[in-house]
Structure 1
Amino acid sequence: MSATAPPLKDAATVRQQALGWFVRRQDAAWRGEDEHAFQDWLAASPTHGEIYAQCAAQWQAFDGMPADLVAGMRRQLAHDKKATQVRAEPARRRFLKPAFALGAAFAMGGAGYVAWQQMLAQPVWVEAFATDRGQQKEVALPDGSRLRLDTTTRVEVRYFRDRREVHLVAGQAVFAVQSDTNRPFDVLAGPLRVTVVGTRFSVRHTPGQPGRDGVSVAVEEGKVRVARADSAAYGAVYLIAGQRVGSDPAGVLGPVHPVSVEGIAPWREQRISFVDVRLDQALAELARYGDTGLVIHDADVAALRLSGTFDPLNRATLRLALPRVLPVRLVDQGAMTEVRPAH
């Protein structure tokens, strides 16, 4: 004996519930207790399982569609949703165009549209990585891309069906991106978004560090697009290999400068280079890798300009070098050493 079909109004409610369950089950945060609640909902009525299976089958068909068609459907649905607010009936007819019939079938009604958008917004893989002070780390991502994290760096990685995204919370990293034209790779760093398909580049975002509190991007191979993350007010900059650009904390981009391959990320070889940098800012940069044991109390000493290349983990060499390249002397003050004027 077959189950009696539910009234149309009830069927719409169940479909909305099924879409909601399907969306939440794609979330990386789904837990065992969530699955138990879902199974209880399935067991409440045979209709629940039937409608849920329909939603899952429709999504599988959608998930196998070419990326350009998916993108077109997303644009059309967004357009139709906006148009519906002005003229509901004409928008409904456009929504049912044959080219987007699958999207219409899946996105039945406003609730279906929202659920469909939510499914695209759900990450299929999420992970966070971090390094301690003085540590570096090589990270392999599921698609074959690789990250090289510098000291005191934290990143959050999210892969979606139609894009890959890394949030550089703080620190700096080199990205070797596996090419995938169907899923662009975005790095979000402070106010900027760096978009690539396949390349190798570095991004630095060290908020709060004097003189280095903006974002810096340098390209070793390929091409990247650098723009404000909110896509407002400021135009994008395209960088090719051997170029870099920086921004201020608000995301205002500066001019594009050439950079040597060795200058893309010298920290990978345990080298930190300074060119006419204030001494206090240079010491702050070296302190990211470990205690330098050096302090400055004199404003004139702090403003001295330092140029040179240093091993950030070699304190002894730094102490020997400073009095030779700058008019300073080192005076022990218990646990710390003060950098004072030479005379």
Structure 2
Amino acid sequence: MTDTTPAQRHLKQATTWFVALQSSRVDPEQRRQFERWLAASPLHRQAFSEVEQVWGNLDALKSADLPELEQARTARPPRWRHGRPLLSGLLLAVTLAAARQEFSAPTTSYQTGIGERREIALADGSRLQLNTATRLRARVTWLRREIELEQGEAVFDVAHERLRPFRVHAGKLQISDIGTLFNVRHQDAGGTSVSVLEGEVELRVGRSWLGEILSAGFRRRLDAEGRWHGPEKIDAEPVLAWTRGQLLFNHTPLAEVTKELERYHNLHFVLADPSLAQQTLSGRFDAGDLQPFLQALQSMLPVRVQRGKDTIVLHKR
């Protein structure tokens, strides 16, 4: 039996070939062996391309003043024994330098104010969109990409790299990307929800080693008490409406509508009559412009709006 998958074996072979070819002393016969290996399978070409991509991102390493790396560049190419490659000094140097960078890579904090949205491009090509009142921290190293969503909501459009995992931590939940576009919303009082729009993610709770796969078109929620809710089928349009500055409601209880609006405006809604909480509202509204919403609310529901400086009271009429 083997403890590696075919894809992992291809990547290991591709890494070893890449390392061997970096040496100035590589001989023609070894280059011919490499060409035969490369032509043997499209999977070999794909794996070698991924290794080249990772190496292409290591500009800081390639220009670093590391004696072991300079020695590795002029080392003899690795020999072959019983069909298994031996790692050269270059691979060791890369590993040592990557370990150094892993400990020294900075963590960058990003946040948005109430009603603000922001788009962020990470060094790996991934793109993040932050919704209102969101705080997150990002750390991208040569070995991994880690995001901590402390509060709020964000869409993650992830640049896929099999060699460098992309993980989002939100409360007790860890989301691992599997080539994906996904939305995460995390509130201390409301728990964490994950909506997958493309691809798949793996979800893990706490220190659990066993993850669950969530595919495109579904959402799962972990409530504030740590209870899993079953998968829900979703449409992309309402999930992504906030990225266009819109709020989309579909027979949504008024209590939830007002709570959502409080995320985008520095004010508080009060329902003077508790029965109003169950009134439902449908429609598309501008998240940043409250006045048209209040006018629509009075025309669509039996509600009278009393507006103060930082409080809006809804009366039943």
Q: TM-score range by the shorter chain?
A: 0.5 to 0.7
Query: Using the alignment, how far apart are the partners of 1:297 and 1:333 within structure 2?
Result: 14
Deviation at 1:120, TM superposition (A): 8.2
Alignment of 1:283-298 (within 5 A): 283-291=258-266, 294-298=269-273
What amino acid maps onto 2:151 in structure 1?
A: A
Deviation at 1:273, TM superposition (A): 2.3
**Structure 1 residues 337, 219: closer, same or farther in 2, change over 3 A?**
closer
| Structure label with greater radius of gyration | 1
Say if 1:146 and 1:175, in contact at 8 Å, map to a contact too.
Answer: yes
TM-score by length of 2: 0.65
Query: Using the alignment, how far apart are the partners of 2:156 and 2:68 within structure 1?
Result: 36
TM-score by length of 1: 0.60
Residue 186 of structure 2 corresponds to 205
Deviation at 1:56, TM superposition (A): 7.5
Residue 138 of structure 2 corresponds to 157
What amino acid maps onto 1:124 in structure 2?
A: A
Deviation at 1:121, TM superposition (A): 5.9
State whether structure 2 residue 32 is matched by structure 1 residue 57: no
What amino acid maps onto 1:263 in structure 2?
A: P
What amino acid maps onto 2:217 in structure 1?
A: G
Alignment of 1:294-333 (within 5 A): 294-332=269-307
Residue 111 of structure 2 corresponds to 130
**Structure 1 residues 334, 268: closer, same or farther in 2, change over 3 A?**
closer
**Structure 1 residues 316, 215: closer, same or farther in 2, change over 3 A?**
same
Residue 249 of structure 2 corresponds to 274
Residue 28 of structure 2 corresponds to none
State whether structure 2 residue 173 is matched by structure 1 residue 192: yes
Say if 2:186 and 2:192, in contact at 8 Å, map to a contact too.
Answer: yes
Say if 2:114 and 2:132, in contact at 8 Å, map to a contact too.
Answer: yes
Query: Using the alignment, how far apart are the partners of 1:186 and 1:123 within structure 2?
Result: 19
Residue 42 of structure 1 corresponds to none
Query: Using the alignment, how far apart are the partners of 1:327 and 1:144 within structure 2?
Result: 49
Query: Using the alignment, how far apart are the partners of 1:140 and 1:333 within structure 2?
Result: 39
2:193 to 197, 205, 216: 216
**Structure 1 residues 255, 296: closer, same or farther in 2, change over 3 A?**
same
Say if 2:306 and 2:312, in contact at 8 Å, map to a contact too.
Answer: yes
Residue 239 of structure 1 corresponds to 214
What amino acid maps onto 1:149 in structure 2?
A: L
Query: Using the alignment, how far apart are the partners of 1:249 and 1:294 within structure 2?
Result: 23
Residues 277-316 of structure 1, C-alpha deviations (whole Å, 9 max, x = no match): 4423321211211146743233222343434332221211
RMSD: 3.2
Residues 81-106 of structure 1, C-alpha deviations (whole Å, 9 max, x = no match): xxxxxxxxxxxxxxxxxx99x9xx99
Moved more, 246-255 or 148-157: 246-255
Moved more, 186-195 or 297-306: 297-306
Say if 1:190 and 1:249, in contact at 8 Å, map to a contact too.
Answer: no
Say if 2:123 and 2:140, in contact at 8 Å, map to a contact too.
Answer: no
What amino acid maps onto 1:57 in structure 2?
A: E
Query: Using the alignment, how far apart are the partners of 1:306 and 1:56 within structure 2?
Result: 67
Residue 15 of structure 1 corresponds to none
What amino acid maps onto 2:212 in structure 1?
A: V
Identity %: 32
How many correspondences in the alignment?
236
Deviation at 1:205, TM superposition (A): 0.3
